[in-house]
Homo-oligomer: A and B are copies of this chain.
Amino acid sequence: MSRYTPDPALDLVLERTIPVAPDRVWAAWTEPELLMQWFTPAPWKTVAAELDLRPGGRCVTTMESPEGDRYPNAGCYLQVEPNQLLVFTSVMGEDFRPAAPANGAGGLPFTARIEIEPAADGGTRYRAIAMHAEEGACKQHADMGFADGWGAALDQLVALMS
């Protein structure tokens, strides 16, 4: 896995050591039936996941609000290194086609970088980074509750997979 140094003005970072082995973290991110169980902080749910796991492959997750409204989020995988690194973006769809604003890219364009490294105790040194084009978009994502939301989802991943 290539190294990446976050830019504090443009990136949001969630970093934690978790008691889940790297291959189990990878499975949680890449197998639809697992991802649907942890990906969205309760009481929201993920009710569908299509994951075409290859660079240029499309990923679509559909979230459902407590009221039953559904919100699909489409993106594209960029780097797929099993048990180590998963990079995807909201600004592209299948085969790296730029996403239309209607696809959600206009709302909050970001690239996510999920780093998975073995920890000493058989667990994982986990780092999730959300990269933005501009400081305003980064702040908007922070204000939307990145730390709480991604942290709560990770809690659910740990509860499911450990």
Partner of A78, one of B2, B55, B113, B134: B55
The reply to whether B78 and A131 contact each other, CB–CB distance below 8 Å, is no
Contact A96 B100 (CB under 8 A): no
Nearest chain B residue, comparing its CB with the CB of A5: B95
Q: Which residues of B contact A40 (CB under 8 A)?
A: none
- Write 25 A-B pairs (CB below 8 A) sorted by A numbering: A2-B56, A55-B78, A56-B78, A56-B79, A87-B96, A89-B92, A89-B96, A89-B98, A90-B98, A91-B91, A91-B92, A92-B111, A95-B111, A95-B113, A95-B131, A96-B113, A96-B131, A97-B131, A97-B133, A98-B109, A98-B111, A98-B132, A98-B137, A100-B133, A100-B134
